[in-house]
């Protein structure tokens, strides 16, 4: 291969200048096309910026409505109806699930928590809370076999505080199915912060091995 000299390098066409010249020439020859392309680009940029502004403003408005609703179930339902795709709208579904469960409305709690989990899309503290409410609702309906897989998922992947609650519920569900060994194992896995409560539950389990434990 022949060695390239400095003269050859200096005489080599500049690709940037060549490309720029080509573009400038095309622009002069096609002014209408250039204007059309420029207009399309401007419209796209403005549209995207406008959409993100609208979305951000909608999220903020929805969150303000969510905060204002607090424990008012009707106002919370209105947040869902008016802002269903926002985070606040989805969190409102979780709030209704918790409220329904607290009022022993297990079927309603189950429906709300299921819809929240299906829409939330990522595993965080809210997801695990929703999964726990769903499991507890199944237990309230005395369908322990449906609650246990959800509780096992919580035990495997949730933060410690949710995990401890799931272990308690799992022990109750297992005892409700007369699986006392599984119930004991679940209680023994509870963290040190709740070991006193776990020991009380273990003692109760030993005292009444045949009694069905209340899901709540």
Q: Could you give the maximum distance between any two Cα atoms of the chain, in Å?
A: 98
Contact 92, 80 (CB under 8 A): yes
Question: Is 111 found in the same domain as 158?
Answer: no
Tell whether 8 is covered by a domain: no
Residue 124 CB neighbours (<10 A): 11
Choose among 144, 150, 71: nearest CA to 117.
150
Among 121, 153, 173, which residue terminates a domain? Answer: 121
Question: Is 142 found in the same domain as 107?
Answer: no
* First CA to last CA distance, the chain: 84
Q: Using the structure block, give the residue that is written with the tokens 């309603």.
A: 108
Tell me what pLDDT residue 216 has. Answer: 39
Using only the alpha carbons of the chain, give its radius of gyration: 31
pLDDT, one tens digit per residue, over 100-115 is 999 999 999 999 999 9
Tell me what pLDDT residue 42 has. Answer: 57
Tell whether 203 is covered by a domain: yes
According to DSSP, residue 189 is labeled T
Tell me what pLDDT residue 212 has. Answer: 43
Tell me what pLDDT residue 196 has. Answer: 87
Tell whether 128 is covered by a domain: no
The total number of structural domains that make up the chain = 2
Has residue 116 got a pLDDT over 60? yes
Tell whether 75 is covered by a domain: yes
Put simply, whether the predicted model's pTM sits higher than 0.85 gets the answer no
Q: Environment class of residue 204 by beta-carbon count within 10 Å: exposed (0-12), middle (13-18) or buried (19+)?
A: middle
Q: Which domain holds residue 60?
A: 36-121
């Amino acid at each position: 291969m022949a060695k390239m000299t400095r003269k050859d390098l200096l005489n080599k066409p500049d690709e940037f200048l060549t490309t720029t010249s080509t573009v400038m020439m095309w622009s002069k020859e096609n002014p209408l096309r250039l204007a059309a392309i420029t207009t399309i680009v401007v419209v796209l940029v403005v549209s995207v910026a406008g959409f993100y502004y609208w979305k951000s403003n909608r999220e903020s408005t929805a969150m303000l409505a969510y905060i204002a609703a607090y424990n008012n179930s009707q106002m919370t339902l209105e947040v869902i109806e008016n802002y269903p795709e926002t985070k606040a709208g989805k969190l409102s579904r979780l709030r209704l699930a918790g409220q329904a469960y607290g009022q022993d409305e297990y079927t309603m709690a189950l429906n709300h928590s299921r819809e929240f989990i299906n829409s939330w899309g990522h595993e965080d503290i809210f997801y695990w809370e929703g999964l726990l409410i769903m499991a507890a609702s199944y237990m309230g309906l005395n369908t322990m076999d449906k609650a246990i897989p959800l509780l096992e998922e919580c035990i495997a992947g949730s933060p410690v505080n949710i995990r401890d609650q799931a272990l308690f519920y799992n022990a109750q569900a297992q005892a409700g199915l007369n699986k006392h060994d599984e119930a004991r194992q679940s209680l023994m896995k509870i963290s040190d912060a709740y070991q006193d409560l776990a020991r009380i539950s273990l003692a109760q389990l030993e005292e009444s091995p045949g009694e069905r434990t209340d899901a709540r």
